[in-house]
Structure 1
Amino acid sequence: MKTDIVQDEPKLILTYPYKTILNWIAFVTIISFSSIVTWILKNLIHEGTDESGRMIIVIALVCIPLLLCLLVCYFYLNAAKLEIDKNNSLKYYTYGRRGHSVLQFRFAMEDIQEIKGSKLPLGCSKIMIKIKNPIFCGFYEKKIDKQINVSVIAEREKVDFFIQEFLNRHSDKL
């Protein structure tokens, strides 16, 4: 008999709000930029003069690092997500090789030692969290006996709500 695993909806998800738009823009930019650079290099190599040799070197020194930077931004831009469940357990996800979320750490609200938030443009905020003794969720679950730092970029309202909830919980214990 097959049982379905039903997971509750998370109470709050902190993730970058413009990720899909930026991924499409980066994808189109990478494809167009690489095709233009390839076409220019092909024509310069075909020409074969000293001036074209210098231009090839300039393109290699300027355009290839730019293209690599775009690729890194495309694959790893804001590749983090924090889910808060109804029972106040938190799950920190990063993105794996094929764009799927991979659970990295689990921890409780009580494990958070410090939260810092900073405002970013476009209605976003960056939240940096210091966690003591999280549970690493790789091939097997293992409790890490040291402090780690994680950061997530999310909508400003959601970050403010999360910080306020943490401060309310933290003040109740004092």
Structure 2
Amino acid sequence: MKTNTVQEEPKLILTYPHKTILNWIAFVTIISFSLIVTWILKNLIHEGTDESGRMIIVIALVCIPLLLCFMVCYFYLNAVKLEVDKNNSLKYYTYGSRGHSVLHFRFALEDIQEIKESKLPLGCSKVTMKIKNPIFCGFNEKKIGKQMNVSVIAEREKVDFFIQEILNRHSDRL
């Protein structure tokens, strides 16, 4: 016996656009910074003086953790995803430590009380929503009894379409 575990495709996905110019600039900066640090370390090791030994320790204690911090921020910056299903149910995901998305909250379009859009450079927008009574989807589903703020950075065209759909739903209810 087979069970049908295939989920329907979401109608709209709002997620951070990973192919923007900003990401390419950050990627090139991280690569060039790491190449510069390794070149400096290579030259200091080759020199072999007491002063170069101190500089190696300083670079190891300052620059390498800073580089690792940049890499973590690059890979996990704004790592959230908002999916709108065909039945107008919204699912809010965040990315786990291994890059797999984890469902955190679920709510309906009617639960959105307030929505704000902020224009960002490079064709992106930030959507911030106030949600009443979201459902936490952890080990077991639990309705949260308080209002919660959720924000997503996505491409401007998708954000505008999402906001228009929400405004159309609210005007239909009134």
Q: Please indicate, yes or no, whether the TM-score normalized by the shorter chain is above 0.5.
A: yes
Alignment partner, residue 100 of structure 1: 100
Tell me, which stretches of 5 or more residues in structure 2 are unaligned? none
Aligned to 1:172: 172
Contact 1:16 1:155 in 2 (8 A): yes
* Paired AA for residue 101 in structure 2: S
The AA in structure 2 aligned to 1:165 is E
Q: CA deviation at 1:164?
A: 1.3
3-state SS, counterpart of residue 81 of structure 2: strand
Q: How does 1:153-172 map to 2 (within 5 A)?
A: 153-172=153-172
Q: How far apart, CA to CA, are the structure 2 residues paired with 1:57 and 1:97?
A: 29
TM-superposed CA distance for 1:59, in Å, is: 3.4
What SS is found at the alignment partner of 1:171? helix
Would you identify which runs of 4 or more consecutive aligned residues in structure 1 move more than 6 Å?
20-25
Shift of the 103–22 alpha-carbon distance from structure 1 to 2, 3 Å rule, reads farther
**Equivalent residue for 1:118?**
118
Q: Which secondary structure state, in structure 1, belongs to the residue aligned with residue 82 of structure 2?
A: strand
Are 2:14 and 2:83, in contact at CA under 8 Å, matched by a contact in 1? yes
1:9 aligned residue: 9
Between the two proteins, the alignment pairs up a number of residues equal to 173
In 2, the alpha carbon distance for the partners of 1:20 and 1:123 equals: 8
Deviation string, structure 1 residues 63-93 (Cα, Å, up to 9, x no partner):
2353133122233122011000111100001
1:127 touches 1:151 (CA, 8 Å); kept in 2?
Answer: yes
Alignment identity in percent? 86
For structure 1, list consecutive stretches of 5 or more residues without a partner in the other structure. Answer: none
- Measured after TM superposition, the shift of residue 114 of structure 1 is 0.9
Deviation per residue, 1:27-86 (Å, 9 max, x gap): 676566446424533543562333x35644653575235313312223312201100011
8 Å CA contact 2:21–2:122 kept in 1: the answer is no
Structure 1: which amino acid aligns with 2:6?
V
Q: Which residue of 2 aligns with 1:44?
A: 44
Counterparts of 1:50-129 in structure 2, within 5 Å, are: 50=51, 52=52, 55-56=55-56, 59=59, 63-64=63-64, 66-129=66-129
Matched with 1:131 is 131
- Output the CA distance in 2 between the equivalents of 1:4 and 1:25: 43
Residue 23 to residue 139, structure 1, CA distance change in 2 (3 Å): farther
Distance 1:102 1:24, change over 3 A: farther
Task: Calculate the TM-score normalised by the size of structure 1.
Answer: 0.82
1:105 partner SS: strand
